[in-house]
Amino acid sequence: MLNFGDEHLEQLILDGIVEFAGLDKNGEMLYAFSPDLESKAPGIFKIVQETHMQDIYYLWEHGYLAMDATQANPLVTPTAKALMPEEVDKLPDYMQLLLEQIKDAMRIEDE
């Protein structure tokens, strides 16, 4: 997970690299990177991509996602464990949020 100090975060917001994305279930502010992150901040983009893949592998290793890890860009699908609230609650908050985003993306794709 990326952590920025208040001054650094403020500068990223002013530069249009980070945007307010809403509040989590605890009322904490959530931020997202701008869609053009790759062109605005290639170094941060690379870190975000690597971190995201590490998180995906964590969820896969712990049985929340199914995928063929031998593929360069594997198709990721939630497992039955990912649909059990008591199992999802065992994850750190940021992993729960990522898992919910993956499930939401799957729902959108199905529509």
Q: What is the pLDDT of residues 81-95, one digit of tens each?
A: 999 999 999 999 889
- Domain interval for residue 85: 6-110
Q: Is residue 49 part of a domain?
A: yes
Read off the pTM. 0.75
What residue has token string 């794709």?
A: 109
The CB density around residue 31, as the number of other CB atoms within 10 Å, is 15
DSSP bridge pairs for 31: 20
Residues 76, 62: contact at Cβ < 8 Å?
Answer: no
Q: Which residue has the higher pLDDT, 66 or 72?
A: 66
What is the band of 19 on the pLDDT scale with cuts at 50, 70, 90? very high
Q: Is residue 55 part of a domain?
A: yes
Q: Is residue 1 part of a domain?
A: no
Q: Is the per-residue pLDDT at 107 higher than 60?
A: yes
Domain count, the chain: 1
Range list of H helices, the chain: 6-14, 37-40, 42-61, 85-88, 93-110
Q: Is residue 34 part of a domain?
A: yes
Helices 42-61 and 93-110 cross at an angle (nearest 10°) of: 90
Give the integer Cα–Cα distance in Å for 15 and 6.
Answer: 14
Q: Is residue 91 part of a domain?
A: yes
